[in-house]
Structure 1
C-alpha cells in the first residue's frame, strides 16, 4: 500500500469515490445534521438573548459588541486547535470531543451573572463550536464520493440550520417572560451532548485519514465492510476503482505546508475570502435584533421579525444542492454574493415593515447558500495531511477578524447611522465574490488529492 517514495498507492480514496450512497452515509447525514443543528442554534443564542440583556442589564451596543467579539476570538482559537487536533487524532474523535466541549459550556452560559462573565464563557464556548465545525466539514468532504460531496454538504447544513429558526422561535417564547427568560436559550444549546454519544457508536473514522497515518488495515476493514454490504444489496460486484489518488504518508501535522510554495496562494486567498465572508455574515445576522430595537422597534417585535427572517436559512442552504456540483463552488459564489449585496442594502433602507421582512428573509436565505458553498470549498483545496488545519486556519482568520467586526459595526452605527452598517456588509460580500472568482481553484466533481496537487 506504500511505495518507497512515501506515497500510498491511491486505492483508498478511489474506492470511496466509487461507492453509491449507503446506510453509513445516511447515518453521517443524520448525526452531523443534528450536531450542526445544536451548534448553529448555539452560535446564534447571544444574538437572540442580547435584546433582553440590553433591557434588563442595561448593556450598551458597545458592550454587546464586546461579548460578540469574545465569542469570535474563541472561534479563532477553536478553528486552529480543532483543525490541528482533527489532523492529529482523527476526524471522529475530534468531532466527539469538540461537541462535548461546546455543549457543556453552552450550559455554563445560562448561569452567568455579568457582562464580563458572558465575555469569558462565550469565548470558551466559541472554541468548542468552531473546532466542531472544522472537524465536521473535513469529515463530510472525505466520506462522500467526489461527484456528490457538495450536495450532501448542503443537505447536512440545511437540516442543521433548522437550529436557527428553532432557537429564534424558542427565544421568542422564553426571552420576553422576564429578566431570566434568556437563560433558557443557552440551556437548549447544550442538547448537543446527546448527539456526541452517538458519534462514537455509529460513525467510523475517515479511511482517508487512516491511510495517511499508515493505519491501512483499519481503513481496509471499514471500506471492505461497506463494499460487502453494498454488493450484497445490489447483487453484483462493484466496479474496479479508477482515478487513483496517491497521498503522502504523514504521522505528524505539517502545518508549515500551508505556507509552502505549493499552497501559500490558496491559503492567503481563502483566508481573505473567509475574513470578508464572516465580517459580512455576522455584520448582518448577529446585529439584526439589536439594531431593530435601537431603531425604535420593541423587543417583542424585533424578535418576531428576526424569527421570521431566520426561516430563510434552511431553504437557503438547500438551494446550494442543485447548483454546487453542477456549476461549481467559485462560480456560484460570485453570483450569490452579488445578489446578497443588493438585498442587504434594500433591507437597510427600511421602506416599510414588509420590505424589512422580504429583503431580510432573502438576505438570510442567500447567506446560507453562500455558507454551504464555502463550507464545501474550504476543505477541498488542501491535501488530506493538512486538510483540517488548512480549513481551520483560513476559517479561523475570518473568525478572528470578527473580533474587531463587532466593534466595527457598533462604531459604524454610532457615527454614520443605520443604513451605513448595511452598505459596509454589502461591500464585504462583493469583494468576497470577486476574489474567489478571480483567484480560486475549481473543485466540483474533482478528486480531492488531484485538487491539492
Structure 2
C-alpha cells in the first residue's frame, strides 16, 4: 500500500524555504539543485571505478611481460585473468544483499580496504598459483565496491539528471583502464610488472580514508530502514537548501509490500523476474565483449602484426572512445527512452565488430573503428546501470544492481577463457573480433524484450 503524504513548503518572510511535517525524501532529492555535495559523491564513485578499471586493464598490459618473465605461454594466463572476474562476481553477489541490510557506506569502505590489501599481496606474488589466488581476492573487494557506488549515486541524484550523474561517475572505469595503459607503459620498462600491481594497491588504500571522511550514507536507505531522523536530517540538509528543522518524518513513496521479502527473493518475484533475467542476459553478453577486448586486445593486435607500442595505443582508443560514449549515453538517456539508447548501442557494436574483422590492414581506419566501438559498447554497457537503478525499489536496489553485475561478470570470465581457448586452437584475431557480433546481437534483443514487456510500467518509484 502506497502512503501518500504531502510535501509541505513554508516560505518565510526572508524568502528561505522551510520544510515542515512529513516529507517525501525522493521528492526533496528531485527538487534539490545539483551542488558540491553531489559532486563529492560522484567524484568518490568515479575514483572507485577508476581503480577498478585500472586493475582490470593492468593484467592485460602486463601479460606479455609476465609471460616472458616467467617463461609461460600467454594462454596459460587465462586462469589469472579470469580469477579476478570470478572474485568480482562473487563479491557483487554477497555485497548487494549486505548493502541493503547494513548500508551503502559501510560496505563500500570495507570493500575498498579489502581490495587494497589484496592488491598489495598480488604485487608480491612469486608463483602462478599465488598470483591467481590474490587476483581472486582482489576481485572480491572490487566486486563489492562498484555496485554500491552506483547505488549510492543513483539514490542521491535528482531524477532529471540521474543517468548523467551515474554515467559521469562510470567514466572512471574506462579512464582508469586507459590510464592503466599509460602508467603501465612507463612503469614496466623502468620498474618491472610488479610496480603496476603495487600502484593498484596504494590507490585504494588512500581512497579508503577519503570514503570514511567524506562519503555520506544514502538517505533513501536510512529512511527505508527507519533510522534516526536526526541523522537523516543532518545529511539531507547538506543538499536541500531549505530549513528541515520542522520536519517530523521522512518517508519514501514506494510500495511497502516489497519489504516483506528478502532483497534477493524480490528479484525473482513478480513483476520483476522477467526484467531481472533480461538485465542479467544483457550485462553478461556486454561483458563477454568488453573483457575480450580489454584483456586480450594487446595480444590480438600483436597477432595481427602490430608492434607492442601500436597495440597499446589501439587498445587505449577503445577506452577513450568509451569515455565519450558513456557521457553521450547518459545525456541521451535523460532525454529519450533509456532502453532504446542501450539497444541502439549494442546494435551498432555488432556492426563495428563485423567491420573490425574485415578491415584491419589500414591502421588509421582500424583505429577509428575501435574508437567508435568504444563509444557504442561502453555507452550501452554503462546505460545498464541506470536501467537497473531505476527498475528496482530501495529495498532491493543494491542487490538488483549487484546481482546484475555479479552474474554478468561471469560473462567476463567466459570472454577471457573463450579467447584463451580460441587462441590455443589457432583462431585468427580477425575471426575472434567478428565473433563478438553474436553477444552484441543477443544483448540488443534482450534489451528490446525488456522494453516491450515493461513499456507501460514504472516499477521503481525511484
Instruction: Normalising by structure 1, report the TM-score.
Output: 0.88
Distance in 2 (CA, whole Å) between partners of 1:193 and 1:218 is 31
Quick check: 1:16–1:143 contact (8 Å CA) kept in 2? yes
Which structure has greater strand proportion? 2
Specify the alignment match of 1:47 in structure 2: 60
- The alpha-carbon distance between structure 1 residues 261 and 363, as it changes in their structure 2 partners (threshold 3 A), is same
Taking the aligned partners of 1:266 and 1:64, their CA distance within structure 2 comes to 35
Which of the residues 181, 187, 212 maps onto 2:192?
181
SS of residue matched to 1:226: coil
Deviation at 1:303, TM superposition (A): 2.4
* Contact 2:301 2:429 (C-alpha < 8 Å) held by counterparts: no
Alignment of 1:339-350 (within 5 A): 339-349=348-358, 350=360
Deviations 1:217-265 (A, max 9, x none): 146413552366x248xxxx9xxx9994454584984321221133211
Match of 1:262 among 254, 271, 288: 271
1:38-71, Cα deviation, whole Å (9 max, x unpaired): 2211121111111212322233243122212212
Query: Which residue is equivalent to 1:29?
Result: 42
Find the counterpart in structure 1 of residue 221 from structure 2. Answer: 209
Structure 1, residues 5-26: CA drift from partner, whole Å, max 9, x if none?
Answer: xxxx881222222211122102
Distance 1:443 1:316 in 2: 25
Equivalent residues in 2 for 1:115-134, closer than 5 Å: 115-134=128-147
Match in the other structure for 1:366: 376
Distance in 2 separating the partners of 1:223 and 1:147: 21
Unaligned runs of 5+ in 2: 4-21
Give CA deviations for 1:172-212 in whole Å, capped at 9, x if unaligned: 122234xx611111122121222221222222211111122
The reply to whether residue 383 of structure 1 matches residue 396 of structure 2 is: no
Counterparts of 1:72 and 1:441 in 2: how far apart (Å)? 32
The correspondence for 1:393, drawn from 380, 391, 403, is 403
1:6 is aligned to none
Distance 2:274 2:104 in 1: 26
- Whole-angstrom CA distance in 1 between matches of 2:259 and 2:353: 45
**Cα deviation, residue 297, structure 1:** 3.4
**Partner of 2:440 in structure 1?**
429
1:86-101 paired onto structure 2 within 5 Å: 86-101=99-114
Select 2:208's aligned residue among 196, 200, 204: 196
Counterpart in the other structure of 2:283: 274
Q: Distance in 2 between matches of 1:447 and 1:275?
A: 24
Q: CA RMSD in A?
A: 2.9
Query: Which residue of structure 2 aligns with residue 322 of structure 1?
Result: 331
1:144 aligns with 2:157: yes
CA contact (8 A) 2:75 2:424 kept: no
Aligned residues of 1:48 and 1:171 also touching (Cα < 8 A): yes
- The separation in 2 between residues aligned to 1:387 and 1:26, in whole angstroms, is 22
CA drift at 1:143:
0.9
Q: Is the 8 A contact 2:86 2:413 kept in 1?
A: yes
Uncovered stretches (5+) of structure 1, i.e. residues with no partner = 4-8
Q: 1:164 aligns to what SS in structure 2? A: helix
1:141-169 deviation per Cα after TM superposition (whole angstroms, max 9, x unaligned):
11111121101111112245322222111
Aligned residue-pair number: 435
Q: Find the aligned partners of 1:227 and 1:253 in 2 and give their Cα distance.
A: 31
Distance 2:454 2:27 in 1: 16
SS in 1 for 2:171: helix
Contact 1:312-1:362 within 8 A present in 2 as well: yes
Q: Distance in 2 between matches of 1:77 and 1:150?
A: 26
Distance in 1, Cα, partners of 2:234 & 2:460: 20
